Amino acid sequence: MLVVYVVIWGSAVVLGLSAVWGLVWAIRTGQFHGLREGAESIFDDDEPVGTPTDFFPGAAPSARTASGNNVRAMEAKWRR
């Protein structure tokens, strides 16, 4: 029975405190400021806003290069 009490009350206290800690941490480190930049944090200069990143195989705008012929020829030139 002791185990059960420890599980119920212990986890209630630990999880409650961790949630409060998480909220306090988020506010103190400014996680709720600059939300526009936050929304754009998954983009970067290489994959900027406005650039789709996923296509069916062969259907990408550069299907020619994906098939590799041009690029391989280019590489051969570089090696020389």
Partner 1 sequence: MASVAVPNKPEALDSQELLTRVQTDRSCRQTVLIYYTSAVFWLLLGSVLAILASLKMHIPGFLADWEWLTFGRVRPAHLNSMIYGWAVMAAIGTLLWLQARMGRVRLPLPLLLPVSGLVWNVGVAYGMVAILIGYSSSTEWLEFPVPVLGFFGFCLVLIIYATLVMMMRRKVHHTYVSQWYIYGGVLWFPFLYVSALILTQAPHINGTVRAIANWWFAHNVLGLWLTPIGLASAYYFIPKVTGRPVHSYHLSLLGFWTLALFYNWAGTHHLVGGPIPAWVITVGIVGSMMMFIPVTTVAINHHMTMLGQFSHLRTSPTLRFVVFGAMSYTLVSFHGSLAALRSFSEVAHFTHHTIAHSHLGVYCFFTMMMFGAMYYIFPRILRREWSSAPLIKIHFWTTAIGSIVYVVGLGWAGWVQGLMMNNPDIPFMDVVKYTIPWLESRSVAGTLMSVGHFVFAYLVWRMLRGDGADQQGPTLLTTARSLRKQRERKARARERAREVA
For the CB of residue 24, give the shortest distance to partner 1 in the complex, in Å. Answer: 13
Q: Does 16 engage in binding with partner 1 (CB under 8 A)?
A: no
Q: Does 5 engage in binding with partner 1 (CB under 8 A)?
A: no
Q: Is the dihedral of CA 48, 51, 52, 58 positive or negative?
A: negative
Residue 66's CB is within 10 A of a number of other CB atoms, namely 15
Among 13, 17, 18, 20, binds partner 1 (CB under 8 A): 18
Site for partner 1 in 41-70 (CB under 8 A): 41-62, 65-68, 70
Alpha helices in 1-80 (DSSP H): 2-5, 11-28, 35-39, 63-66, 69-79
DSSP summary character for residue 7: I
The footprint of partner 1 (CB under 8 A) covers: 1, 3-4, 7-8, 11, 15, 18-19, 22-23, 26, 29, 31-32, 34-62, 65-68, 70-72, 74-75, 77-78
